[in-house]
A and B are shown apart, each in its own frame.
Chain A
Amino acid sequence: MSTAVVTPEAVESPWVLPSKGRVGMACLIIAETAIFTIFVVAYVYYMGKTTSGPTPREVLSLPIFNSICLLSSSVTIWLAEHAIERGEIRKFGVWWAVTIALGAIFLIGTANEWRTLIYHDGLTVSTNLFGTTFYCLVGLHASHVIIGLLGLLTVLIFTLTGRVKQEHSERVQVLALYWHFVDAVWIVVFTVVYVIGR
């Protein structure tokens, strides 16, 4: 017996398997969801348990503009996905760049918010329980935005140098999946931290 075909006749029906990239990304998203769940649970559990100020009501304001930017970036990246699928590389590049810009605006907004909180309101990780849970949850999300942006930027660079083709649409979509996830997490964070927690 050798390293041979194992059964006598080949099975003739076509043999389709799911794409590696999508499965891998789906798994990563499941794992990340578990991390975020724990941080959200911690945030909710400690809501209102802070023993000293400042409290969320005193210092947090709704980041409406920020959130609109981030959430609409899900739409623009979806448009980009469609464009590359149809082979419209130029259109793809434009929507992709818009997505990155929107993500960057969101990050700048967060940085501004943190600066005010730290220098104006004196809220740091060690100030009180609210500070600890707030910076951890929001910071965890922000760090995912940064990672996402780095990924998107890489693709943008390859697009500008003309190396992205229609056949790469699958990979692009896998990356976009991650971006959609980061957006979805923001909806949860926004609701918990800024709506319920305030």
Chain B
Amino acid sequence: MADSSLPIPGALEVTSPRYSQAAILQWLNSWVTTVDHKKLGILYTLYAIFFLLVGGVEAMAIRIQLIRPNNTFLSPEVFNRLFTMHGTTMVFLVGMTFIFGFANYLIPLMIGARDMAFPRLNAFSFWVTAFGGLMIYYSFIGGYGLFGDGSAPDVGWFAYAPLTAKAFSRGHSTDFWALSLIVTGFGTVGAAINVIATILCMRCKGMTMMRLPLFAWLNFAVSGLILVTITPLTAAQIMLLVDRYLGGHFFDTQSGGSAMIWMHFFWIFGHPEVYVLVLPAFAIANEIIPVFSRKAIFGYPAMVAASMGIVFISLGVWAHHMFTIGMTSVSNAFFSLSTMLVGIPTGMKIFNWVATMWGGKLRFATPMLFCTAFLFQFLIAGLTGIMLSVVPWNWQLHNSYFVIAHFHYVLVGAIVFCIFAGLYYWYPKVTGRMMNETLGKWHFWLFLIGFHITFDIMHIPGMLGMPRSIYTYEASRGWGTLNMIVSIGGFIQAIAVLLFAFNLVWSYFYGEKAGNDPWDAWTLEWTTASPPPAYNFEDDPVVRSRRPLWDLKHTEDTDWKYE
């Protein structure tokens, strides 16, 4: 390999100090004790990728079980644990940590800061989150284990009462679920506070709020949303633990408690959570689409306003998850309408992205491919979402595979696609090397095809009445072939993800050298070396427009002349 010093003959036996035990320990130590936002960002991201693989294995196990009628690959108990852990993992350990991975790494660089506002809180947040993730997986081996008498959580990621009462959920699985999510919740709130404080208080000179990259704006909005939605979940989980440990009666219908109020509390968190996950995905698209269209984003103020609109509306629609539990028709009507209202700001966003691409010089490198697919898929997901918000439709489709198909269109079709786009886009900045394009294209097309085979088809068994969370079904129902196709699509996606994981590792060692600014982009992070030095910027940058790097490259035609 390209080493500057030639090996000295006869000195070859000397073990390289790079791999000595002390050096390895020191290297480990530097990661464990780090307070650098870039290293923490990488840790978050690796953590998320690890759990993406774990959650993916769980999804595959579910799909193997459902591949044909009356299958006995998994027992009903194990099936329950797997879908609970799959949902919990994907939402809390993958989605939330990807957000903070990107946010941590990029926001200080984008706003011209040297670090986050509270570096030590930042490290604390990560390790607390990591501990929470370990704890929930410890439940698999703790107690009686996966194949024994109830340890891994099996009550669904929504943990509806009264299933979680002591009488129905023996052992400690539900306690593990609640405790570890409280713990990760602390980490999440800490990280959100950090993001907000960083964006408000660490901007470099000239970076007014209306010059912030949209990426930072959206993460700012999301962090605000996290503050007011994660804590209600924590509150509900404290109540659950009080019920289970101290004999409380919050959700105990025998003594006046209510199972419905758990649903309210859960979905007050659970619905906005979708936007907590999807807005950072939008944030990624907001950076990538303009750069690969060679145009400034269309309607920047409208994008900011729409994001804020989404945040506020999302706080008032939670009960659309509860149309079937017998609320009054007035509240059904209210939640139905407010849900449809979300269509306006999201429509605005889609319009603005399309307008950005319109007439641009499009370059379909892998990040842009993922973003383009995201646009279409998010549109469709939005449409099935509107369908579900129509109360009579909802009564028909509630808790069917149609719902699973709908939300995976959002979770995978929008969020995971954008996350992949972001990983390809910023990988060169983080590692100094490009990810392999050929492998990237293979990954994209396989994943796209697999995704559509799985989740387009999955709508149909839903409409035919296949309920979610059933561990098997009768052959006479006629869902067999459809499920077979769905499962095959799942495997194609799994192969694509493995390809991606391979690319990630391979490119780290053999990828093409990237340089500082491989995509010819416009935001501040691309002015630094790849990977950026410890304190990001030698001198504090000063900006005068939304595209500081454009100004630098085009001194004859700078943006700030027009602002």
Residues of A that sit less than 8 Å from B by CB: 1-8, 10-11, 15, 17-20, 23-24, 27-28, 30-35, 37-39, 42, 45-46, 49-52, 125-126, 128-129, 132-133, 136
Residues of B within 8 A of A50 (CB): 255-256
Decide: B247 and A125 in contact? CB cutoff 8 A: yes
B305 within 8 A of A: no
Decide: B256 and A32 in contact? CB cutoff 8 A: no
Decide: A20 and B118 in contact? CB cutoff 8 A: yes
Residues of B that sit less than 8 Å from A by CB: 112, 117-118, 189, 192-194, 196-197, 200-203, 205-206, 224, 227-232, 234-236, 238-239, 242-243, 246-250, 255-258, 261, 265, 268, 516-517, 524, 527-529, 532-533, 536-544, 548-549, 551-552, 555, 558, 560
Decide: A136 and B242 in contact? CB cutoff 8 A: yes
Give the top 10 A-B pairs by smallest Cβ distance, nearest first.
A126-B247, A38-B235, A132-B248, A34-B231, A27-B193, A49-B256, A31-B227, A35-B231, A6-B548, A129-B256
Cα of A38 to Cα of B266 in the assembled complex, Å: 11
Contact among B231, B246, B552 for A126, CB-based, below 8 A: B246
Decide: B255 and A129 in contact? CB cutoff 8 A: yes
Decide: B201 and A6 in contact? CB cutoff 8 A: no
Residues of A within 8 A of B247 (CB): 125-126
A-B contact pairs, 21 of them (CB 8 A): A3-B538, A6-B112, A6-B543, A7-B548, A11-B206, A11-B542, A15-B206, A19-B201, A24-B193, A27-B193, A27-B197, A30-B224, A34-B227, A34-B232, A35-B235, A38-B236, A126-B248, A126-B249, A129-B250, A129-B257, A136-B239
* CB closest chain-B residue, reference A3: B538
Say yes or no: A7-B543 contact (C-beta < 8 A), given A31-B227, A35-B235. Answer: yes
Q: What's the A-B contact tally at a CB cutoff of 8 Å? A: 151
Cα of A176 to Cα of B231 in the assembled complex, Å: 22
Say yes or no: A31-B248 contact (C-beta < 8 A), given A7-B548, A23-B197. Answer: no
Decide: A18 and B548 in contact? CB cutoff 8 A: no
Residues of A within 8 A of B527 (CB): 1, 3-4, 6
Residues of A within 8 A of B206 (CB): 7, 11, 15
Cα of A41 to Cα of B201 in the assembled complex, Å: 34
Decide: B528 and A3 in contact? CB cutoff 8 A: yes
Contact among B196, B229, B257, B560 for A27, CB-based, below 8 A: B196
Cα of A50 to Cα of B255 in the assembled complex, Å: 7
Cα of A10 to Cα of B238 in the assembled complex, Å: 52
Residues of B within 8 A of A125 (CB): 242, 246-248
> Could you tell me the distance in whole angstroms from the C-beta of A100 to the nearest C-beta in chain B?
26
Say yes or no: A7-B196 contact (C-beta < 8 A), given A34-B228, A34-B231, A42-B250. Answer: no
Decide: B538 and A39 in contact? CB cutoff 8 A: no
> Could you tell me the distance in whole angstroms from the C-beta of B523 to the nearest C-beta in chain A?
10
Decide: A31 and B193 in contact? CB cutoff 8 A: yes
Say yes or no: A5-B246 contact (C-beta < 8 A), given A31-B228, A34-B227, A35-B234. Answer: no
Contact among A7, A17, A35, A133 for B232, CB-based, below 8 A: A35
